Amino acid sequence: MTYRHLSLWHETTPTDWTPRASLDGDADADVAIVGAGYTGLWTAYYLAEADPSLRIVVVEAEVAGFGASGRNGGWCSALFPTALGEGQDAAMRASVDEVQRVSAAEGIDCHFVKGGTIVLARSRAQLARARAEYGDAVLSPEQAAQHLRATRTLGATYTPDCAAIHPGRLVRGLAEVVVRRGVVLHERTPALSITPGLVRTPRGSVRAPYVVRATEGFTPRLPGLARAVVPVYSLIVATEPLSPGVWDEIGLARRETFSDHRHLIVYGQRTADDRLVFGGRGAPYHLRSRVSPAFDHEPRVFAGLHATLLDLFPVLQRTRFTHAWGGPLGIPRDWCASVGLDRGTGLAWAGGYVGDGVSTTNLAGRTLRDLILDRRTDLTALPWVGHRSPRWEPEPLRWLGINAGLRAMTLADAEERLTGRPSLVGRVMAPLVGGHSA
Ligand SMILES: Cc1cc2nc3c(=O)[nH]c(=O)nc-3n(C[C@H](O)[C@H](O)[C@H](O)COP(=O)(O)OP(=O)(O)OC[C@H]3O[C@@H](n4cnc5c(N)ncnc54)[C@H](O)[C@@H]3O)c2cc1C
């Protein structure tokens, strides 16, 4: 497997993708972490910072940044997939700034620019939804155009609480920082099972009183966790770098991230090297929660993203699209991300971020530090701590339900495009298939 070709981000991250040494034999640690995405690495980072004497071992099935953390849309936002109240919201906003603080302090140049998010309303139905949610805060088309100039804009909503980042630079930078701080990172080392005090891998086990599961969309592969979250694929396309003239037409001068109020999520950003990166859902869920490199590419969805971008910005007519990729998100049954530690077994976890993990993983890492070090803090009192989502239905119910939901959202958007009125299907299904996440 050559990791450089996984995505635009992998290709443009200045890092050596050669895997670090696999675990070969048994090891003892104070904390074992499974998965080297943002969750596992932020947890390792804050633990090593709090107590440099801790022996921390991370095992990663592929390489750090192989999963969603290396492939995402780069919205470092304050979005949380479920409304849990002001405490959670404030903690999310602070997490965006914390990602910036640590990146700067550790010399991780992840192209962080906090330009906020602009979400357009491009049909009467979308405008009605925006008004219902944001009331008087809905921007006029003229105000929206100060951020972003897309066709058929009737209004927009704006929040300052989001930064555009280069995800690959963040995840690989974090991996390098934690290794420098003494964390042992074994790549190409898949955990075969996680049980209290023990992580089994093909050529040795890690024994540790605390074991953190940070495997997000890949979790169903682990024994006993087939129904914990479902992997749903989000897919992305990217353009060549665009000329200043094209950017004058489109906008995003402050590198605002952008979306619109359609049902089936889309998300975009202007990269530091002036490309448009644009993603969305719509890829099918695969029976028995399978994840496979084959599912990263879905020509129908890529074509849909391409067409949506041209519809938004006709100026892209002759633009070359240079990259297309995807990856699995982890979706819990109640759409609520969670973090926790079972004191009886020492098993800890964080995940189920749906598509809002870039900053939430940072909050998870700091919270896991406090839980493992047995500190009672504002973070450990947040409502998502210790939350247990119900399990998903057994197959084939899961497959039928999820794919019907995805299809319904696509149909609702098509219906609204045709009629201009809010789709009833969309209204009924929206709470079941989530809000504004990637
Ligand atoms: C296409 C896409 C776009 C997205 N866009 C955004 C966005 O713009 N903003 C946002 O906030 N969120 C976004 N997300 C979600 C966000 O990327 C994730 O929530 C976040 O990266 C999750 O981090 P993680 O460390 O928990 O999981 P991952 O990054 O998926 O890491 C899990 C790691 O565990 C490893 N692993 C799995 N099983 C095992 C095992 N048995 N043994 C050892 N290692 C194992 C995997 O190889 C992987 O490296 C997006 C996700 C995708 C896929």
The Cα–Cα gap between 433 and 438 comes to 12
The tens digit of pLDDT for each residue in 136-152 reads: 999 999 999 999 999 99
The Cα–Cα gap between 358 and 278 comes to 16
Q: What is the DSSP letter of 314?
A: G
Amino acid at 309: L
Q: Tell me, using a 6 A CB cutoff, whether residue 326 lines ligand 1.
A: yes
Distance (Å) from CA 213 to ligand 1 centroid: 12
CB atoms near residue 405 (< 10 Å): 17
Q: Tell me, using a 6 A CB cutoff, whether residue 43 lines ligand 1.
A: no
The Cα–Cα gap between 11 and 88 comes to 35
Contact call for residues 114 and 162 (beta carbons, < 8 A): yes
Q: In this model, does residue 433 exceed pLDDT 60?
A: no
- The ligand 1 atom at the shortest distance from the C-alpha of residue 326 is 1
Q: In this model, does residue 374 exceed pLDDT 50?
A: yes
pLDDT of res. 34: 99
Residue with the nearest Cα to atom 16 of ligand 1? 357
Contact call for residues 183 and 48 (beta carbons, < 8 A): yes
Q: In this model, does residue 411 exceed pLDDT 80?
A: no
Q: Which region holds residue 188: left if phi is over 0, alpha if psi is between -120 and 50, else beta?
A: left
Could you tell me the two tokens for 57?
A: 């071992």
Q: Tell me, using a 6 A CB cutoff, whether residue 264 lines ligand 1.
A: no
pLDDT (mean) for 352-365: 97
Q: In this model, does residue 406 exceed pLDDT 90?
A: no
The Cα–Cα gap between 379 and 33 comes to 20
Q: Tell me, using a 6 A CB cutoff, whether residue 267 lines ligand 1.
A: yes
pLDDT of res. 97: 98
Q: Tell me, using a 6 A CB cutoff, whether residue 357 lines ligand 1.
A: yes
CATH assignment of 117-159+230-331+397-433? 3.30.9.10
Domain ranges of the chain: 4-74+167-228+334-372, 117-159+230-331+397-433
Q: In this model, does residue 159 exceed pLDDT 60?
A: yes
- The ligand 1 atom at the shortest distance from the C-alpha of residue 359 is 11
pLDDT of res. 436: 45
To test the ligand 1 pocket, which listed residue (188, 215, 289) has its Cβ within 8 A of the most ligand atoms?
215
Distance (Å) from CA 330 to ligand 1 centroid: 8
What is the widest separation between alpha-carbon atoms in the chain?
63
The yes/no answer on whether domain 4-74+167-228+334-372 falls in CATH 3.50.50.60 is yes
Q: Quick one: 135 exposed, middle or buried, by C-beta within 10 A (0-12, 13-18, 19+)?
A: exposed
What's the half-sphere exposure (Cβ side, CA atoms, 13 Å) at 75? 34
What's the half-sphere exposure (Cβ side, CA atoms, 13 Å) at 27? 24
- Give the range among 77-81, 286-290, 320-324 with minimum mean pLDDT: 286-290
Scan for tokens 């990166």, then name that residue.
Answer: 277
Output helix, strand, coil percentages for the chain, rounded to the nearest 5. Answer: 40, 20, 40
Distance (Å) from CA 424 to ligand 1 centroid: 33
Q: Would you place residue 356 in the very low, low, confident or very high pLDDT band (cuts 50, 70, 90)?
A: very high
- The ligand 1 atom at the shortest distance from the C-alpha of residue 201 is 42
What are phi and psi for residue 168, nearest 5 degrees?
-65, -40
The Cα–Cα gap between 346 and 159 comes to 39
Q: In this model, does residue 435 exceed pLDDT 50?
A: no
Distance (Å) from CA 160 to ligand 1 centroid: 24
Q: Tell me, using a 6 A CB cutoff, whether residue 298 lines ligand 1.
A: no
**Cα–chain-centroid distance for residue 189?**
23
Amino acid at 119: V
Alpha-carbon torsion (413, 260, 266, 38), positive or negative: negative
- The ligand 1 atom at the shortest distance from the C-alpha of residue 234 is 1
Distance (Å) from CA 67 to ligand 1 centroid: 4
Nearest to 213, CA basis, from 65, 28, 33, 367:
33
Q: Which residues pair with 163 in a beta bridge?
A: 76
The tens digit of pLDDT for each residue in 79-134 reads: 998 989 999 999 999 999 999 999 999 999 999 999 999 999 999 999 999 999 99
The tens digit of pLDDT for each residue in 224-235 reads: 999 999 999 999
Amino acid at 342: D
Contact call for residues 324 and 8 (beta carbons, < 8 A): no
The tens digit of pLDDT for each residue in 259-273 reads: 998 888 899 999 999
Q: Is 214 helix (H, G, I), strand (E, B) or coil?
A: coil
Q: Would you place residue 415 in the very low, low, confident or very high pLDDT band (cuts 50, 70, 90)?
A: confident
3-state secondary structure 241-269: CCCHHHHHHHECCCCCEEEECCCCCEEEE
Nearest to 47, CA basis, from 219, 208, 207:
208
Contact call for residues 335 and 82 (beta carbons, < 8 A): yes
Q: What is the mean pLDDT of the chain?
A: 94
The Cα–Cα gap between 255 and 236 comes to 18
**Cα–chain-centroid distance for residue 339?**
15
Contact call for residues 280 and 265 (beta carbons, < 8 A): yes
